[in-house]
Amino acid sequence: MAKMTSMAAAVRILESEGVKQVFGIPGAGILPFYRAMKDLGTINHMVARHEEGAIHMADGYARAIGTVGVCSATSGPGASNLVTGLYTAQVDSIPILAITGQNVRAQLGREAFQAVDIAEVVKPITKRSYCVKDGAMVPWVFREAFKIMKEGRPGPVLIDLPLDVQKEEIEYDPETDEPLLIFRAPPSQKQVAKALDMVLEAERPVMLLGGGVIIADACEEFRAMAEVLQIPVVTSYMGKSGIPWNHPLMAGHVGIQVNTRSGNKVFLDSTLVFAVGARFNDRHTGKIDVYKGDREFIHVDVDPGQLGKNIIPDLGICADAKLTLRALLEEIKRRNIKARPTNLKIPQIRAELERKTNYDDIPIKPQRVFMEINEFFDEDTVFVTCIGLNQIWSGQLQKISKPRHYLDCGGAGPLGWDLPASIGTKVARPDKQVVMVVGDYGFQFCMEELPVAVMYNIPLVCIVLNNGYLGLIRQAEKYLYDMNYQVQIWYDSLRAREAVQLPQMAAAGKGVGRGVVDLEKARLEPENQGRGFDFVKFAEACGTMGERVTDPKELKAAFKRGVESGVPYIIDVILERETDCSMGVSIDAIKEFE
């Protein structure tokens, strides 16, 4: 046993659990933890500009390589700024360890400076939250946290550390301490046999690939089962990338927003759904009676709380996705089952129902942007996107071939997630080209993290779909409330500048007339026609580069310049403003806009 501070022990445990990167912001309440990180010197740290940015960076890092993401924050508002990120990680099953500072134990419950009870605040949105009040417990809490985050359905854990607990000297032996064993629940043989019987007896079965398949690294097994039984595959939005878009059995995505027409059609034609790692959330199912129909459902999920929550399955299997699919493959082999003759013609259905993207319009149609993205970027590119019409168009139109090459926050949908998540993704996968697809409003939520990418030399391409609207809300207002109210965000920045400059010039006795002429002349330039926020100038102010694109023929050249720049590169794409996105209230009633 060796004597050391509790934080020295904590940091050694992080190291032994494989942690290589922490995202965070140091503050007075967490400095002993930072001192321990500095002393050990084996874990990298990146200073964010906001704690929400830090946790989203950890989130992107975790999703990109299937590991635990770690973030840190000081007490009070530092800790409470992590709430949105914890909620996002919880609903999307992402293992995040949030380490927060806290005021000393004697001040707890006294409304002391920056002493919010963050462990209680985040209980509903974490797998576990701790406020550690004894330094000797720190090593065991950290070990248990990793087991909790990884075991069963993954999710976030918060550890809150009073300042005096962080400074406590304890006895700890890093030579003998090891990570705790992680239990992975296998299916029962009876369940496996029954599932296979149901699939084989079904007239038109379909396999639904949910996000849990990617999380469990079970995509290979899922595809193998589909191939050996020749069953068409559909995915949820979180399952996008789990099987190549052009696989001969891949019909597409099912949903009322992120969907493909072929995916919804094949699903609606099915008589049995074999679903793995899916939550059956509202944006996926739409009207439950239409989604359920007369179909039988087999639902495999590691979380027993998911079975029957939204869809009552005819057979529920609470087990690890990878172990279940392997067991099914072994049962198929044992029975010597051969692929049955089929006349599926999935590629033809997919091609016939593909939405139009080859628009030549100016202003640029958003669908054209995704046609150019699909043609320019290769299958090794990692894409990151977030909530909004940009996300829905991306989910509907982007063609992804590899797991963990399309990262999105599907359950919580916090605006601003994508920029810090892209930074975390690039840190995790420096060998990959990372491309972020974002709306002009969403970009402004966590735009303060762009200097982080510049400071740490993290190259990525950021494609801003700029229509000057809260686009998804504009469309909802239009069709549900017959209004266009408080959703426009373009404004005449030159008139705003004039209102400030002219009084200043007059007060200084300078050439007011000349100033008016200069501003009026500038207003006639195309790039100054009411665009509001200038993303290119913002990029330049942060010390990086960008450009504005108004012609669809210039998109590929802009992508090329962005990739070759070697810096965080902003491409501001000016869109046709009123283009609507295909969606509906049920999967058999999607309103198309072409």
pLDDT at 512: 44
Are residues 408 and 335 located together in one domain of the fold?
no
Are residues 163 and 220 located together in one domain of the fold?
no
pTM of the model: 0.92
Are residues 203 and 164 located together in one domain of the fold?
no
> How is the chain split among helix, strand and coil, in percent rounded to 5?
45, 20, 40
Rounded average pLDDT per 10-residue block, the chain, 594 residues: 93 97 97 97 97 98 97 96 97 97 85 86 97 96 98 97 96 94 96 97 96 97 96 96 96 95 96 96 93 96 94 96 98 88 86 94 95 97 94 95 94 92 98 96 95 97 94 91 90 65 58 49 52 90 96 97 97 94 94 85
What gap in Å lies between CA 420 and CA 71, rounded to an integer?
12
What gap in Å lies between CA 47 and CA 299, rounded to an integer?
42
Bridge-based pairing of strands 296-301 and 315-318 is: parallel
Closest CA to 87 of 131, 127, 126: 126
What gap in Å lies between CA 42 and CA 21, rounded to an integer?
9
Are residues 262 and 402 located together in one domain of the fold?
no
pLDDT at 109: 79
Are residues 144 and 198 located together in one domain of the fold?
no
Are residues 279 and 385 located together in one domain of the fold?
no
Q: Please give the residue range of the domain that contains residue 11.
A: 2-172
Instruction: Give domain status of residue 510, yes or no.
Output: no
pLDDT at 55: 98
Q: Give the number of domains in the chain.
A: 3
- Domain closes at, from 306, 325, 352: 352
Both structure tokens of 564: 């070759």
What CATH code is carried by the domain that includes residue 463? 3.40.50.970
Report the helix count and the strand count for the chain, using DSSP H and E. 26, 22
DSSP state letter for 180: P
- Domain closes at, from 287, 322, 352: 352
pLDDT at 1: 74
What gap in Å lies between CA 69 and CA 244, rounded to an integer?
26
pLDDT at 115: 80
Are residues 233 and 379 located together in one domain of the fold?
no
- Domain closes at, from 352, 386, 408: 352
Both structure tokens of 29: 């309440």
DSSP 57-119: HHHHHHHHHTS-EEEEE-STHHHHTTHHHHHHHHHTT--EEEEEEE--GGGTTTT-TT---HH
pLDDT at 161: 98
What CATH code is carried by the domain that includes residue 317? 3.40.50.1220
Instruction: Give domain status of residue 523, yes or no.
Output: no
Instruction: Give domain status of residue 536, yes or no.
Output: yes
What gap in Å lies between CA 271 and CA 150, rounded to an integer?
35
Are residues 195 and 164 located together in one domain of the fold?
no
Are residues 371 and 265 located together in one domain of the fold?
no
Instruction: Give domain status of residue 87, yes or no.
Output: yes
Are residues 452 and 568 located together in one domain of the fold?
yes
